[in-house]
Structure 1
Amino acid sequence: MIGAGPVGLAAAAHLTERGLDFLLLEAGHQVGASVAQWGHVRVFSPWKYNIDTAARRLLEADGWTAPDADWLPTGAELIDDYLAPLAELFGDKVRLGSKVAAISRLGYDRVRTNGREDAPFLIRLDSGEELHARAIVDASGTYTTPNVLGASGLPAHGEPGVDVDHALPDVLGADRDRYAGRHTLVVGAGHSAATTLLALAQLEDTRITWAIRAGSAGRTYGGGDADALPARGALGTRLRAHVDSGRIRLLTGFFTHTVRRNGDGVEVISRDPSGHEQTVTVDQIVSATGYRPDHSMASELRLDLDPVLGSTRALAPLIDPNQHSCGTVPPHGVDELAHPEPGYYAVGVKSYGRAPTFLMATGYEQVRSVVAAIAGDWEAARDVRLDLPETGVCSSNLAEAQEQRIGLATGISGGLLATPLPLATVSASDGGGCCG
C-alpha cells in the first residue's frame, strides 16, 4: 500500500482484520504527512464521520477511547488522536520516508502480456530499493500535485518565476508575518479559498482580493442554514458578509493569464475567453485552485483512465462534477476502481482524478470493498453501501449553484475545511467533507 493518510491506514485496518499481510509505504516522515500541512485547520465533519469502522474496532480492542463523536477536530487532532495511534498498531508494517518512484510487473513492461497476471508487482523506491507484491492499493493522494494558477489548465505566463502559496497557509499562526499588513490575492472558489479568506479578514491593516472564474460566488457561499454541518454552512455565511461589507474585494470572471513582478509587487492579469482583461497588483498570492493526480509512477502499468477526469473510466460518470456534487456520488467499490492491470487499485482522493466531489467516508468504503476483493470475498466486495448526511452545499441542484468544489478535495483524502477559529469560540468544527 502507498500512502499513510486516513484512507491508506483504513485499508491497513481492513487487511489486518482479514489476516492479510501488507507493507504500507509513506513518503513523508510521519503518518498523515499531508494532513499535517493543514493541521491548524478545523474540519467541518465531527469525529463520528472521520473514523473508519475497521480502524475503530482495532483501536478499541487495544484500549483506545474514541474522541467526542460530535467534536470537530483540527488536522493535528486528527493525526494525534486517530491516525498516529492507528499506525502504531501496525508496527514496522508502516514504513515512513519511503517514496515510491515507479511500479511495474517483475520482468514485464507494459506491452508484454503472456503470463502477466502471474508476475508480482515490482515497486521501486527512490532509494533504489525494490519490493515485490501481489496487489497494490495506491492511496498516495494528490496533495503534492496542486493545479496551476493559470485558468486554462496551463501555468499562467510568468507563473513559474513568481512565489505562489498553495492552499491553506497558516495565516493566523506560523505564516502570520507573511500576510499581516500586506495585500493578498486568493484565487479559487472552493472552501479552502474561503477558509484562507476568513483567516485573512482577522488580520488588521490587511487588504484582501478574492478572484474566481464564475460570474458569482453563490457556489462558494453554499447552503448557509440549510447545511446539515453547521460549521460549513456558517463558513459561506461569514464569507458573504465580508464581501458585502467590502472587507474582501471580489473579482468575478477572473481568468488568470499572466503574473509578473513590478515595482509595486506582483501584477496579476486576467484575460477571459472574450479577451476582456482585468488587472490587480498584490504582495502575496494564494492559489486554492485544487489538485490533480500524478499517475507517472504507474506509467508501466495498464491503466484505463478517463480522458477528462483521470479517474478510472468506469468511475468517471459517477463522480463527474458537471453532474454530481459530493452528496450525490453513488456508492462504488472494486468494480468501478479496477484497471486492466489486475491487482492495482488507486483509492481515496487519487481515484477521483480531477473531480472535486470526494469525501473521506467514500474512501473508507472504497478500501473496504477493495480489500474484500483482494481477500477473494467478492460478495462483500460488491455489497457497497454509503450513508451520507444530507447537506445544503452538497445539493445536486446545480441550477441553484449549490454544488461546490471541496476545498482540499483533491489531496487530503477528501474534505471541506472550516476556517481556523480560536478554540474559545468553537463549541463543537480536510479531511472531513460532509462525511469525513
Structure 2
Amino acid sequence: MNALTTGPLPVVVIGAGPIGLAAAAHLVERGIEPLVLEAGPSAGTAVRDWAHVRLFSPWAEVVDPAAEKLLAPTGWVRPEAARYPTGGDWAERYLQPLADALGDKVRYGARVTGVARAGRDRVVDSGRDEQPFTVHLQFADGHEELVSARAVIDASGTWSTPGPVGANGLPALGEKSAADHVSYRVPDLKDPSVRARYAGRRTAVVGSGASAFTALAALADLAEEAADGTHALWILRRGLTGATFGGGEADQLPARGALGLRAKAAVEDGHASAVTGFRTQAVERDGDRLVLVADDGRRSDPVDEIIALTGFRPDLSFLSELRLALDERLQAPTSLAPLIDPNVHSCGTVYPHGVNELSHPEQGVYLVGMKSYGRAPTFLALTGYEQVRSVTAAIAGDQEAAERVELTLPETGVCGGAGLFDAPEQSAGCC
C-alpha cells in the first residue's frame, strides 16, 4: 500500500503498553513523529494490573529491538536475559524507561473516544483517503481535544473488556447484580485486603486456561497456609482430561508447564473441586452466598466469591466511523483470522505476519498487538513486535521491508504473557 502524504502530522499510537511503545520506537527509528496516547497515568497501565504475575517468557524474549536501541543512550541496562520478569518488573524496568525515553511523544490520561476521517463519516466516499484522521480525546478533568494524524496504530489491547461468567458470551443472569462478589482478574493474594476476600472462603474459578491455573494455584497455596476453609470450585465448560493441564514437564516453555502441574496438584490435593461440562446461565443468591446455575439446570455448591477468567475481547466502539474488515467470529482482521483461529492454532502454529494481514479497507489504520487477535488467545509478544516493525515500514513507504518477515519463532512459539490471556474452552491457547 502507498505511504500516506498528509505532511508533518504524527502517527497516533493508542496505548502505551509493550506493543504500542514498540511501535513508537520503530516510528522514531524511521524518522516519523509518533504521538502515543495512554488512558492511564503511566506506561503499561494494564500490565501493572497484573504486576504480581510472572511471565512465561524470559527478558530475552520481551524486549523489542528498536526499543532497545532507543533506550541505549539513556544508560538503560537490559535485565539478565534468562530471568523471568513479573508484570511489575516488565512495567518498571522496561516499559516506563522506554516511555520516558520517548518524552513528550507520550501523553498520559488521554482516553481515545473516537477515530474518524476528518469531515467524513464512514458512509462518505468522496475524498476520503486524502483526509487525515481525527482522533477524539477525553481527559480526566473532563476537557476534550481533537488530534490530527497521518495514520493510526491501535495497540490498546483487550484488558479493559474481559469475558463474562455466562457461557454464551453475555453476562449470566444475575451476574451484574452480584458484581461485588465477582472478579475478572487473577487475584494478588499478597495484598492483605485481597487475601482477606478469599481466605477461609469458597471461590468459584470459571475458565480453563492459564489464568485459571494461576488462580487455582494461588488459592491452593492460601489453603495450605492454614487458611481454614479455603477451597476452589473449578467451573469448566468442557471435560477434565489429561490435556486439560497442558504439557507439564514436556512443555518447551517450562514456566507454563509448571503452572499446569500446580493447578493439577491443587485438584489432586483436594484444594479445588472440578465441575465439568458446566455452562453457566445464571448466578443466584443463596442467602449471603452465590450459586451458579448451568443451562442444563445443574446448580453449583454455594460459593462466597467468583473469579471469571474466560478471556478478553476488543473494544471496537471508538472505531465505529472507520471502515474495518473484521472476522465475524474472532473480531480480528479478516486476513489474519484464519491464521490465529483457536479451533486450529496455538502459539506454536501461528507464524509471524505483518501489514498484509493487518490492513483494512480504511487505508492507514492498523489494529496491532493483542487487539489485532480479537477474541483469539494465542498472542505472542514477539509476534506483536514483528507486527509493528512491518506496519511502521509500510507507513514510511518501505514496502519491501514491510512485506519481509524478520522473525523466526521456535516450534512452540514464545508467549509474552503469564496466564492472563485465557483460551476459549475449546482451545489450548498458551498465553
Equivalent-residue separation in structure 1 for 2:67 and 2:349 (angstroms) = 26
**Do residues 229 (structure 1) and 253 (structure 2) align?**
yes
Q: Which residue type is aligned with residue 167 of structure 1?
A: R
Aligned to 1:169: 187
Equivalent residue in structure 2 for 1:101, among 104, 113, 136: 113
Aligned to 2:62: 50
Give the drift of 1:226. 1.2
Equivalent-residue separation in structure 2 for 1:369 and 1:244 (angstroms) = 47
Equivalent-residue separation in structure 2 for 1:214 and 1:69 (angstroms) = 38
**Do residues 328 (structure 1) and 366 (structure 2) align?**
no
Equivalent-residue separation in structure 2 for 1:217 and 1:114 (angstroms) = 57
Equivalent residue in structure 2 for 1:214, among 238, 247, 251: 238
Q: Which residue type is aligned with residue 116 of structure 1?
A: R
Give the drift of 1:41. 1.1
Aligned to 1:195: 214
Give the drift of 1:218. 4.0
CA deviations 1:94-124 (Å, max 9, x no partner) are 0000000001111101011121011010101
Equivalent residue in structure 2 for 1:363, among 378, 384, 401: 384
Equivalent-residue separation in structure 1 for 2:308 and 2:92 (angstroms) = 28
Please list every run of 5 or more consecutive structure 2 residues that lacks an aligned counterpart in the other structure. 1-12
Aligned to 2:144: 128
Written as runs of structure 1 = structure 2, the 5 A alignment for 1:277-288 is 277-288=298-309
Give the drift of 1:10. 0.3
Contact 2:380 2:413 in 1 (8 A): no
Q: Which residue type is aligned with residue 269 of structure 1?
A: V
Aligned to 2:320: 299
Please list every run of 5 or more consecutive structure 1 residues that lacks an aligned counterpart in the other structure. 395-404, 418-432
Q: Which residue type is aligned with residue 189 of structure 2?
A: V
Q: Which residue type is aligned with residue 287 of structure 1?
A: A
Q: Which residue type is aligned with residue 257 of structure 2?
A: G
Contact 2:54 2:418 in 1 (8 A): no
Contact 1:339 1:345 in 2 (8 A): yes
Q: Which residue type is aligned with residue 366 of structure 2?
A: Y
Contact 1:269 1:280 in 2 (8 A): no
Written as runs of structure 1 = structure 2, the 5 A alignment for 1:253-292 is 253-271=277-295, 275=296, 277-292=298-313
Equivalent-residue separation in structure 2 for 1:41 and 1:318 (angstroms) = 28
Equivalent-residue separation in structure 1 for 2:414 and 2:269 (angstroms) = 23
**Do residues 117 (structure 1) and 129 (structure 2) align?**
yes
SS at structure 1 position matched to 2:23: helix
Contact 2:113 2:318 in 1 (8 A): yes
Equivalent-residue separation in structure 2 for 1:75 and 1:357 (angstroms) = 18
Contact 2:213 2:262 in 1 (8 A): no
**Do residues 252 (structure 1) and 273 (structure 2) align?**
no
Q: Which residue type is aligned with residue 130 of structure 2?
A: D
**Do residues 347 (structure 1) and 368 (structure 2) align?**
yes
Contact 2:25 2:67 in 1 (8 A): yes
SS at structure 1 position matched to 2:21: helix
Determine what percentage of the aligned residue pairs are the same residue: 55
Q: Which residue type is aligned with residue 196 of structure 1?
A: A
Aligned to 1:92: 104
Q: Which residue type is aligned with residue 322 of structure 1?
A: N
Contact 2:172 2:280 in 1 (8 A): yes
Give the drift of 1:63. 1.9
Equivalent-residue separation in structure 2 for 1:222 and 1:185 (angstroms) = 21
Give the drift of 1:263. 1.2
Q: Which residue type is aligned with residue 161 of structure 2?
A: T
Contact 1:184 1:208 in 2 (8 A): yes
Contact 2:61 2:414 in 1 (8 A): no
SS at structure 2 position matched to 1:330: coil
Q: Residues 392 and 55 (structure 1 numbering): CA distance in 2 closer, same or farther, change over 3 Å?
A: closer
SS at structure 2 position matched to 1:72: coil
TM-score by length of 2: 0.90
Equivalent-residue separation in structure 1 for 2:351 and 2:242 (angstroms) = 25
CA deviations 1:48-88 (Å, max 9, x no partner) are 00000111122123321100000101111101110011111
Contact 1:259 1:269 in 2 (8 A): yes
Cα RMSD, aligned residues only: 2.0
SS at structure 2 position matched to 1:209: strand
Aligned to 2:9: none
Contact 2:188 2:195 in 1 (8 A): yes
Equivalent-residue separation in structure 2 for 1:169 and 1:247 (angstroms) = 16
Equivalent-residue separation in structure 2 for 1:265 and 1:77 (angstroms) = 37
Equivalent-residue separation in structure 2 for 1:196 and 1:386 (angstroms) = 33
Equivalent-residue separation in structure 1 for 2:163 and 2:373 (angstroms) = 14
Contact 2:291 2:299 in 1 (8 A): no
Q: Which residue type is aligned with residue 61 of structure 1?
A: P
SS at structure 1 position matched to 2:300: strand
Contact 1:266 1:283 in 2 (8 A): yes
Q: Residues 315 and 87 (structure 1 numbering): CA distance in 2 closer, same or farther, change over 3 Å?
A: same
Q: Residues 220 and 65 (structure 1 numbering): CA distance in 2 closer, same or farther, change over 3 Å?
A: farther
Give the drift of 1:330. 1.5
Q: Which residue type is aligned with residue 99 of structure 2?
A: A
Equivalent-residue separation in structure 2 for 1:392 and 1:358 (angstroms) = 10
Give the drift of 1:357. 1.1
Q: Residues 219 and 110 (structure 1 numbering): CA distance in 2 closer, same or farther, change over 3 Å?
A: farther
**Do residues 80 (structure 1) and 92 (structure 2) align?**
yes
Aligned to 1:424: none
**Do residues 14 (structure 1) and 14 (structure 2) align?**
no
Give the drift of 1:217. 5.0
Give the drift of 1:301. 0.5
**Do residues 313 (structure 1) and 337 (structure 2) align?**
no
Give the drift of 1:360. 0.9
363-372 vs 203-212, greater mean Cα deviation: 203-212
Give the aligned length. Answer: 402
